[in-house]
Structures are given as C-alpha cells and as structure tokens.
Amino acid sequence: MILKIYNTPSRRVEEFTPIEPGGVRMYGCGPTVYTYAHIGNLRAYVCQDILRRALGFFGYRVTYVMNVTDVGHLTGDDDSGDDKMIVSAREKKKTVWEIAEHYTDAFFADVDKLNIARPDTVCKATDHIPEMIALVKRLEDQGFTYVAGGNVYFDISKFPRYGDFAGLKLDDLKAGARIEKDPNKRNPLDFVLWFTSSKFGEQAMMWDSPWGRGYPGWHLECSAMSMKYLGEQFDIHAGGIDHVPVHHTNEIAQSEAATGKKWVNYWFHNEFLVMADGKMSKSSGTFTTLSRLEAAGYDPLDYRYFLLGAHYRTQLQFSETALAGAQAGRRGLVDRISGIVRRAEHSQTAEAGDEAGAYLTAFTEHIANDLNTSRCLADLWALVKDEDVPPREALGCIERMDSILGLGLLEQARAADAADSDGTLSSDVEQLIRERNDARRRRDFARADSIRDELLGRGIQLEDGPEGTRWKKLS
Ligand code: AMP
Ligand code: ZN
C-alpha cells in the first residue's frame, strides 16, 4: 500500500515518493518562544507527529528537523508591533535569552506530554546567523535583493513564480487596499531579509553583517536551517495553514532563487484549532495551554485523542465538552485494552491465526489515505470490541496501530491492569458484573454464564452467595 498525502501546491492528494528510496527528509516550522505554546500550536505538532509516525509505519527512515524561533520580533513580516521577546523579558524581569530558554523548555515539556516524538534536530535561529547571512549574500550576488533605508529586501519582481504556491493574484494584491507601512519597499509583497534599521531602538539581539549591525528577517531562518540540515532539496515541509500565503511563500522564493532548484516536494499544512468565539490566540480564553487542561483534570493524551478525532485538514473547534468526550473515549479504550491484557495473561491457547488482520488492513488503508485518523480510531475501536480476536493477536495489532496514534495505549492498559491487581476493578469489569446481575434477574442464565466465563478468562472468579455476587482475582 502506498502512502498518499495532500500536497498544498497541487491541491491534490498525491502518492508519496521520497527523493531517496527508503529515507524521508522533513522540516517543520517550530515554535516562537516568547510565551507558552497554545493548544492550537500544539495541534500543528501533533499533526506533524502523526505524519512522521505514519512514514515510519510505511517503512521509511525519517529525518525530522524543527527550528525554534528565538529572535523575539520575528513573529510577523513587517517592522510593526512590539518586540514580543523584549515585552516578555521586561514583564518577567529576565533577559531575552532567559525568556527564550524558559519557553523552549516549556514547549518541549508539552511535546513530551503529548507523546510527540522529539525531532532528530532542533535548531535555534540565534545559533544560525552566519548561515542566514550567507543566504542573503547568495541572493544579493544573483541580483534578487535591494537595499533601502538600511534594510535588505527580497525583490519579488525578480522571482516571477512568487504567487504560484499560494495561488496569489499579485496584481489584485498590488492594486488592493493593502496599506504598506514600509515606504522602502518597491512592491508591498517584498520582504526584509536583513534589518539594520528598525523601530526597535533597544533591540536586544543584534549581529554584525555585511549590511551593518542588525538582525535577520523572519523567513530567513527556515530556509537557511532546513537547507543546512536536510540539503538544498528535501521531501516534506510542514506547518500551519496560516503560513501558506506569506511565510512559506517567502521561504520558497528565497530558497529557490538562491539555489535555482525546486526546494521541497511535498507541503503539509494543518488546519486551525479554533475556539467557539473564533480564532485562537496566545492570549485568549481559559483553556489555551496544555498546563491549563491538566490543571482542569485532563490528561494531555485526552487532548491528543481529541485531535485524532478530526482530519488534520479540517478546522476543529475546541470546547471543554468535546474534550470531556475525548477523555471518556480514551479512558474507555484503555479499559478495554486492559481487559484484553488480562485475557492474554490467562489465555492458555497458542495463537496462530490472523483474526486481527482485517482490522489492521482497514487501519492501514485509512492512514494511507491522507492520514484519516478518525477512521483509524474507529478501526481500533472495532478491533477492541471484537471478542473473537484472540487476545494476544489483538494486542499485537493494537501495538502496530498505536505506533501511529501515539496514545501509549498498551503501557497504560498494563499499568491499569497492575493497579487492578491490588484490589480494585477496572470500570469495564465492573460493567460486566453489573450486566451479569441484570441477566440473572432477567433469568437469562446463558448470558450470565457467558459473562462469568469471560471474566474467568480475565482472571476474575465470581461467586454467587446470599449477600450477592463476590469476586476474587486469580493469581
Ligand atoms: P507559532 O509559535 O505562532 O509560530 O506557531 C507554531 C505553529 O502553530 C505554526 O505552524 C502555526 O502555523 C501553527 N498554529 C498557530 N495557531 C494555530 C491554531 N490555532 N491551530 C493550529 N495550528 C496553529
Ligand atoms: Zn518556517
């Protein structure tokens, strides 16, 4: 089976073929670290993680590189607004470097809690200023730049396919109402490669360059670092959908202008997580960070489960009700799987069949079809509900499925099973005991007996006495 993914520039789901057989080189735009990542940002990294795991599932060796934008003002294209790093440093009475380190650590703590596998390389913008300067130099040598008002600009008129990637109608944009704040630009869509003159008088992070002391434009870091670690041509570049018209468009322009080659083959973009009242921003609402979800009693993996319920290319509305639903769903799944773990422990029969095969095939088809995770969850549920699948075989299949879903299911089911061994019952066992009692009241002894046998298979013996039904765990 071949993995198919949607490719933004062609606007089609395409079969994935890497540049080098067997290996995939992938870059994801990482976090800006002047404050905590919000749960919308984290959706981007969960989606990239699913893609990366799916590539591994299909047998590819993946090299995944992610940047950290630790240059404070680089959250937009122009020289307006506040330097977010300085504002944050002032508020917290720390240096900008301490701020960046603190929020980088916080980001990767969230990444770990969400079972997002760490990138192979994490590269900080501030560690790659020489590479960025070299890229600007290369563009300058080939005539793609101009200097105005002390800044170096990329001249989009020298790169005719500038608007192709995002389907931008350049003439409309030029003629449109967009008011250009920067009078140095020849075209409103030209963008800064290097600033020496900024409204940020007290800029904390500055470096020497051939154009004077200053700092890089926002887009430069991703081109310079991805090419350093992955080569001038690589397979996949990922990021949120908001990056299509500006950030990724500019990354492509400066990378392909510099090398004269096609830069990236597949562009992977996740849709946004939104709040009921609209867009999510770093300052809105109560449930904006993972820590806040945890403080409200949710496991970070409840949030991951919630995300898996939607396709990565559909906008997803966050609500606490939906998150509570995901929590119940994930817990139910773990309960069922811990039942299977117990049945496997007590199963005497050697299993040689392939009862789970059909479930794994369906799951594989669904993930291969542009990462349809909600269908994959449904396949997993169908498997865990099918009591005809021998337990050890089911566990093997669950492990394969969870290598993509990343919910830590077997680990948690085994932990729940161990907790049960010291005198408590999991909720699905309790539910079965209740069902059996109901069956006995209805005088449906066949059903009651079959439940008793099932529980026995899981190592729980029931005894009916005058005070009701008692249970005992068999060791
Ligand atoms: P930032 O730290 O703002 O640069 O964003 C990090 C990543 O999160 C980028 O890939 C953004 O495109 C993505 N992103 C930002 N907001 C959202 C959102 N509400 N939902 C999903 N992805 C988002
Ligand atoms: Zn980027």
Give, to the nearest 10 degrees, the angle between helix 373-385 and helix 391-405: 160
The reported pLDDT for the residue numbered 423 is: 67
From the number of C-beta atoms within 10 Å of its C-beta (0-12, 13-18, 19+), residue 83 rates as buried
- Give the residue, 361 or 461, on which the prediction is more confident: 361
Question: Does one domain contain both 386 and 333?
Answer: yes
CATH code for the domain of 414: 1.20.120.1910
Lowest mean pLDDT: which of 235-249, 349-363, 437-451, 454-468?
Answer: 454-468
Domain boundary (402, 421, 440) is at 421
- In ligand 1, which atom is closest to the CA atom of 37? 2
On whether the CB atoms of residues 390 and 359 are closer than 8 A, the answer is: no
Question: Does one domain contain both 333 and 248?
Answer: no
Question: Does one domain contain both 25 and 127?
Answer: yes
The reported pLDDT for the residue numbered 177 is: 45
Is the minimum distance from the CB of 219 to ligand 1 under 6 angstroms? no
User: Which amino acid belongs to residue 57?
Assistant: F
For 303-314, what is the mean pLDDT?
98
Q: What percent of the chain has pLDDT over 70?
A: 90
Inside any domain, residue 300? no
pLDDT classification of 179: cutoffs 50, 70, 90? low
CATH code for the domain of 130: 3.40.50.620
Is the minimum distance from the CB of 381 to ligand 1 under 6 angstroms? no
pLDDT classification of 312: cutoffs 50, 70, 90? very high
Is the minimum distance from the CB of 288 to ligand 1 under 6 angstroms? no
For 401-407, what is the mean pLDDT?
98
pLDDT classification of 284: cutoffs 50, 70, 90? low
Question: Does one domain contain both 247 and 202?
Answer: yes
Q: What's this model's pTM, rounded to 2 decimal places?
A: 0.86
pLDDT at 315 over 70: yes
Question: Does one domain contain both 355 and 207?
Answer: no
For 303-310, what is the mean pLDDT?
98
Q: Cα(45) to centroid of ligand 1, in Å? A: 9
For 178-189, what is the mean pLDDT?
81
Is the minimum distance from the CB of 137 to ligand 1 under 6 angstroms? no
Of 173-187, 204-218, 380-394, give the range with the top mean pLDDT: 380-394
pLDDT classification of 201: cutoffs 50, 70, 90? low
The reported pLDDT for the residue numbered 425 is: 73
Is the minimum distance from the CB of 89 to ligand 1 under 6 angstroms? no
pLDDT at 393 over 90: yes
Is the minimum distance from the CB of 18 to ligand 1 under 6 angstroms? no
| Residue located nearest, by CA, to atom 2 of ligand 1 | 31
For 240-252, what is the mean pLDDT?
96
The reported pLDDT for the residue numbered 432 is: 84
Question: Does one domain contain both 118 and 229?
Answer: yes
Candidate from 33, 110, 242, 316 with most ligand 1 atoms within 8 A of CB, to mutate: 242
Could you tell me the residue range of the domain that residue 182 belongs to? 4-270
| Residue located nearest, by CA, to atom 19 of ligand 1 | 40
pLDDT at 382 over 90: yes
| 342-370 pLDDT tens trace | 999 887 766 667 889 999 999 999 999 99
Question: Does one domain contain both 66 and 179?
Answer: yes
Sequence-separated (6 or more) residues with CB below 8 Å from residue 432: 451, 454, 455
Q: Cα(237) to centroid of ligand 1, in Å? A: 14
Question: Does one domain contain both 198 and 134?
Answer: yes
* Token representation of residue 354: 């392939």
Inside any domain, residue 264? yes
Overall number of domains in the chain: 3
From the number of C-beta atoms within 10 Å of its C-beta (0-12, 13-18, 19+), residue 255 rates as buried
Is the minimum distance from the CB of 32 to ligand 1 under 6 angstroms? yes
| 85-141 pLDDT tens trace | 677 777 778 888 888 999 999 999 999 999 999 999 999 999 999 999 999 999 999
pLDDT at 58 over 90: yes
On whether the CB atoms of residues 29 and 291 are closer than 8 A, the answer is: no
- Give the residue, 467 or 281, on which the prediction is more confident: 281
Is the minimum distance from the CB of 124 to ligand 1 under 6 angstroms? no
Across the chain, mean pLDDT equals 90
The reported pLDDT for the residue numbered 347 is: 79
The reported pLDDT for the residue numbered 308 is: 98
The reported pLDDT for the residue numbered 82 is: 61
Domain boundary (386, 403, 421) is at 421
Question: Does one domain contain both 160 and 99?
Answer: yes
pLDDT at 283 over 60: no
Q: Cα(64) to centroid of ligand 2, in Å? A: 14
For 137-147, what is the mean pLDDT?
98
pLDDT at 454 over 90: no
pLDDT at 79 over 50: no
Question: Does one domain contain both 187 and 132?
Answer: yes
Question: Does one domain contain both 416 and 445?
Answer: no
On whether the CB atoms of residues 451 and 435 are closer than 8 A, the answer is: yes
- Give the residue, 277 or 372, on which the prediction is more confident: 372
Inside any domain, residue 214? yes
Q: How far is it, in rounded angstroms, from Cα 118 to Cα 167?
A: 33
Is the minimum distance from the CB of 40 to ligand 1 under 6 angstroms? yes
The reported pLDDT for the residue numbered 74 is: 47
From the CA of 225, which ligand is nearest?
2
Question: Does one domain contain both 248 and 327?
Answer: no
On whether the CB atoms of residues 135 and 224 are closer than 8 A, the answer is: yes
For 163-179, what is the mean pLDDT?
75
Sequence-separated (6 or more) residues with CB below 8 Å from residue 231: 25
